[in-house]
Structure 1
Amino acid sequence: MRRLFRLAALILPLTLAMPVQAAGFDSVSSLTDKGFHLSAEARLLDDDSVLAAIEPERQLSPASVSKSYLAAAALDRWGPQHRFTTRLVSEARPDAEGVLHGDLILDGGGEPALTTEDLWRLVQRLYQAGVREVSGRLLVSQWRFGPVECITTDRCEARERTRHAYSALLSSAGVNYGNWCVNVAPAEAPGEPANVIGCDSQAAILAIDNRVVTRPDNSGTQISAERVTRDGRDVMLLSGQISTNAHPRDIYRASSDPADQMALTLLAMLDQSGITVTDGADTTQASPPPAAATLAAVDGKPLQELLLRAMHYSNNYMADMLTLNLVETPRADLRSGGAAIEAFVAGIPDHGPVTLLSGSGLTPENRTSARGANALLDSLYHRPSLFPSFAATLQSPANGVMRFIRRGSDTFQRHVMLKTGTLNQPVTVRAVSGYFRTASGRWGAFSVLVNGTGSTPYLSWPEVLDPLALDLEQMIDNH
């Protein structure tokens, strides 16, 4: 009996100590005192031991940490070297004079990072194929997906007007991340209107309402830009001032219709390349005819490079374009894309529930838990063929593209790789998820999801990253 009492006396302190050790985010936990909801967990990946936890199974919004799910699902589906292809096709062939007697069709391949540089190569290859004139139309086909239903406020508003680039609408035939670009440069003399041209063509592709005035040297540059839609045509409204000694500025704003933007841009490029199109340009949701053959094609960048850009710059357009590409049937929408990611997550052991209406995290209804996010990280860590490409999509605070993550001690900055997520509406979201290396070289995963309510105060990133850096530094040093 005495042995049992002694054994119980030994076990009881250990039992009581376990919740304290699991609670372990001593600095991060202070956010609960301000009324914020938390789900947090840190664990070692070699023996699956939990180092710290705060309600790890609580379902909260991950914001752009959703992109980690998209990156993992895309790598699982296609592998790091996959490329998307954009083609120019036609049922006709150029005759001896270079005339294509029929329509020229751009078959949008869903390339998330297709730019005008790619289109110039595509046009050059068409010219090399002998085409000098198209007697029909230029048709831009977005049969894979587009126009995609807008399910977030910012994207829905962008159909009429926008002051942003991140809210770009989606189409499998989009270019330049769904954004118009104009270049603003000072005139030679103060008082004159600034010089404004399109970034992608010698001829004006969209209408420009220029009210930017040139001011004397060192007067400062302040430019306001809004893209509006008038009578079915996009117009860039510009106002403000630019100094005579200022460098030219490129300004990006989301277009109202990415497929139409593609049609107008490509038509201008064909004209500048000496290829005339008799009947103008239009868009279609029909797929190219079965008899259409490829006249020119251009491959996009490898998937691993697309993911690096989408994750490092938290590019919503690229992330949701990749999400739509995960849908195997035509006419994809973001809900079906999110369902494809959810189906991938269902195969991750011990993940638990997840809700993804988009791969970008721009949809505030997305939900996961810290334990689930760590299960995702753990599953990729144990896949050697994919882990290097996945880990490369995360940022080291010491070298982060986003300056706001360059915080904390040298240990935090150089032993951690992370993805952040930010939303301010309808509630504040600050989410962080990634890997760390301990002092002894062991790998760990951590996820911290912080969600506000209608009554919580504004939450800055330093209020999250500074305490997180302190907590992770202790874990790194102690293991």
Structure 2
Amino acid sequence: MLPRRLVACLLMLLPLAVEAQGFPRLEALADDGFRIGAEARLLGNGEPGATLGSLAPREALSPASVSKVYLAAAALDRFGPQHRFTTRLLGTAEPDAAGVLDGDLILEGGGDPALTTEDLWRLVQRLHQAGVREVSGRLVVSQWRFGPVTCITTDRCEGQRRVDNAYSALLSSAAVNYGNWCVTVAPARTPGEPAVVTGCDSQSRLPAIDNRVTTRPDDSGTQLTAERLTRDGEDIMRVAGRISTNAHPRQVYRTSSDPAEQAARLLQEMLGQAGIEVAGERVTTTLAPPAGAHRLAAVDGEPLQELLLRTLNYSNNFMADTLALNLAETPRPTLVQAGDAIEAFAEGLPGHGELRLDSGSGLTPENRTTAAGTNALLEHMFRRPALFPSFVAALQSPGNGVMRFIRRGSEAFQHHVMLKTGTLNQPVTVRAVAGYFRTRSGRWGVFTVLVNGTASTPYLSWSRVLDRLSVDLDAMIEAH
């Protein structure tokens, strides 16, 4: 007969043994042919925590945009939460007493993933304050750190010629506005007239606009389509549809074909509006500025912790891959080399195991990790007290996250979980989610779920994944 104390210990362990068998509701997706890797576990006080559920936790699967949690962790480890990327205006000569810069004016791209039109205006204002009124040489945009970066995904490669989205932006260390052109569509005063379509960032028509939008009477509805075309080296925004006379102006974003050239055109226009004349031509280059170039103006970007919040909350592929390229030690790195830098960081995590990242964004379908490996990363960041607040803040709570499709499930799932999702539909369906949960007793836990389809599996909606996950996690949260 077993001692009474031993019996009590075995009874305490029984719920964990039962729960460790898996995620019973998520597991049902395997009946439709989906491959699933999942793991959830409590975090212990310095030692491994109890496993609450697992399904093939060491199977290597595509994480899609869950790759961005690796990028965030590696960037925080390398740079720290308060790091800022700096963009500079340099001169090959100093301006004389009359404000003439007898040489080239150079925009040195600093790899800031969130450089905006407002930042360019600040640079121009500071250049004006430095006394510059005329440039006798050229306007040069230097993307010597990286760019143009060779495309390795279908969306980005097709975007060099034509694009109908804002997420597949090409990459450059001198890019502005996330590599996107923006136009504003406003109604004309009279129904039947063409809408008023203008560039968001300039008084001139930047980019060139092909306006096919008609103004309709009040309350008749607004429907717009837009694509960016490139002809003879010039980007054209073609906007079509209708807008009602009482509608608010709408802003439409589409990726540019050459982000460095886009930055050069915008900067040239701003210099002209500020009364700074540039006599020479506008060029882009992959060469670094001359060693003796003079700093004339500079602008610091947002702190890294703010960049990561935007990158992960909105799953911004441009920002993620730009940050990853900043991590690479190789001169003028490729996306794969940027992924190698993140892999090198993850190799040092205890118990991580297999990992392949060809990008920081997760757009590359070749990315592979495991549920157990992702949880090892999440636990590692939890144990970095100087970095964890910035890391977890970049995740979303389902109850109030910016992505509306995650606002579902029980009260416990909505308010006791912070997560990052990942979605791919080609070449196979991917629905991935990873993050932290807090139990009713206040303990922390980590979870990762990777669901991958095959060529023969049906479409998988997010609701089918999240509804099952919320019930499985809810049981863990309530039980502990």
TM range (shorter): over 0.9
Count of matched residue positions in the alignment of Structure 1 and Structure 2:
475
Aligned position for 2:188 = 187
Aligned to 1:54: 55
Name the CA distance, whole Å, in 1 between partners of 2:61 and 2:126: 49
Which residue of structure 1 aligns with residue 269 of structure 2? Answer: 268
SS in 1 for 2:210: strand
Report the CA distance between 1:448 and its aligned residue.
0.3
Identity %, equivalent residues: 68
Look up the match of 1:310: 311
1:173 aligns with 2:174: yes
Q: Secondary structure at the match of 2:343?
A: helix
Per the alignment, residue 134 of structure 1 pairs with 135
User: After the TM superposition, which residues 51-200 of structure 1 pair with which residues of structure 2 at under 5 Å, given as runs?
Assistant: 51-200=52-201
Q: Specify which of 22, 25, 28 is matched with residue 24 of structure 1.
A: 22
CA positional deviation for 1:409: 0.9
Corresponding letter in the other structure for 2:447: F
Q: Does 1:293 align with 2:294?
A: yes
- Residue 325 of structure 1 corresponds to 326
- 2 CA distance for matches of 1:438 and 1:429? 28
Give 2:449's aligned residue. Answer: 448
What TM-score, normalized to structure 1? 0.96
Distance 2:163 2:421 in 1: 25
| Post-superposition offset of 1:11 | 12
CA contact (8 A) 1:319 1:360 kept: yes
**Larger deviation: 18-27 or 40-49?**
18-27
**Aligned residue type for 2:302:** K
- 3-state SS of the aligned residue for 2:399? helix
User: What does the per-residue CA deviation read over 1:229-282, in whole Å, with 9 as the maximum and x for residues that have no partner?
Assistant: 001100111111111111101000000000000000100000011111111311
Q: CA deviation at 1:224?
A: 1.1
Alpha carbons 1:267, 1:280 under 8 Å: kept: no
Task: Tell me how far 1:161 sits from its aligned partner.
Answer: 0.4
Alignment partner, residue 35 of structure 2: 37
Instruction: Give me the TM-score of the superposition, normalised by structure 2.
Output: 0.96
Deviations 1:286-321 (A, max 9, x none): 000000021000000000000000000000000000
Shift of the alpha carbon at 1:21?
3.0
Name the amino acid aligned to 1:393: A
1:10 CA displacement: 12
> 2-side partners of 1:245 and 1:18: how far apart?
60
Q: Could you give the per-residue CA deviations for residues 67-87 of structure 1, whole angstroms, max 9, x where no partner exists?
A: 000000000000000000000
CA distance in 2, matches of 1:367, 1:24: 22
| Structure 2 contact 113–319 (Cα < 8 Å) conserved | yes
Cα distance between partner residues in 1 of 2:13 and 2:417 = 31
Letter in 2 for 1:263: A
Q: Report the alpha carbon displacement of residue 205 of structure 1 after superposing the two structures with TM.
A: 2.1
Q: Determine helix, strand or coil for the equivalent of 1:375.
A: helix
State whether structure 2 residue 359 is matched by structure 1 residue 349. no
Query: For the residues of structure 1 that align with 2:342 and 2:64, how far apart are their CA atoms?
Result: 15
Q: Give the Cα separation in 2 of the matches to 1:116 and 1:378.
A: 38
Q: Give secondary structure in 1 for the equivalent of 2:422.
A: strand
Deviation at 1:96, TM superposition (A): 1.5
Amino acid at match of 2:292: A
- Relative to structure 1, the CA distance from residue 422 to residue 89 in structure 2 (aligned partners, 3 Å threshold; closer, same or farther) is same
Q: Structure 1's 159 and 349: CA in aligned 2 closer, same or farther, altered over 3 A?
A: same
Question: Partner of 2:468 in structure 1?
Answer: 467
Q: Mark the CA change 1:305 to 1:229 in structure 2 (over 3 Å): closer, same or farther.
A: same
| Inter-CA distance 475–240: structure 2 relative to 1 (3 Å threshold) | same
Which 4+ residue blocks in structure 1 deviate beyond 2 angstroms?
Answer: 9-21
Q: Secondary structure at the match of 1:307?
A: helix
Shift of 1:329: 3.3
Q: Kindly report which structure 2 residues correspond to 1:375-394, keeping only aligned pairs within 5 A, or say none.
A: 375-394=376-395
Question: Partner amino acid for 1:80?
Answer: P
Whole-Å Cα distance in 2 between the matches of residues 12 and 387 of structure 1?
A: 35
Counterpart residue identity of residue 174, structure 2:
A
1:418–1:78 CA distance, 2 compared to 1 (3 A)? same
Does the 8 Å contact 1:41/1:52 carry over to 2? yes
Determine if contact 2:16/2:52 at 8 Å carries over to the other structure.
Answer: no
Deviation, structure 1 residue 184 = 0.5
Unaligned runs of 5+ residues in structure 1 are none
Q: CA RMSD in A?
A: 1.9
Task: Supply the AA of the counterpart residue of 1:286.
Answer: L
- Alpha-carbon distance between aligned partners in 2 of 1:270 and 1:125, rounded to the nearest angstrom: 11
1:193-235 alpha-carbon deviations (Å, 9 max, x no partner):
1101100011112211111111111111111101000011001
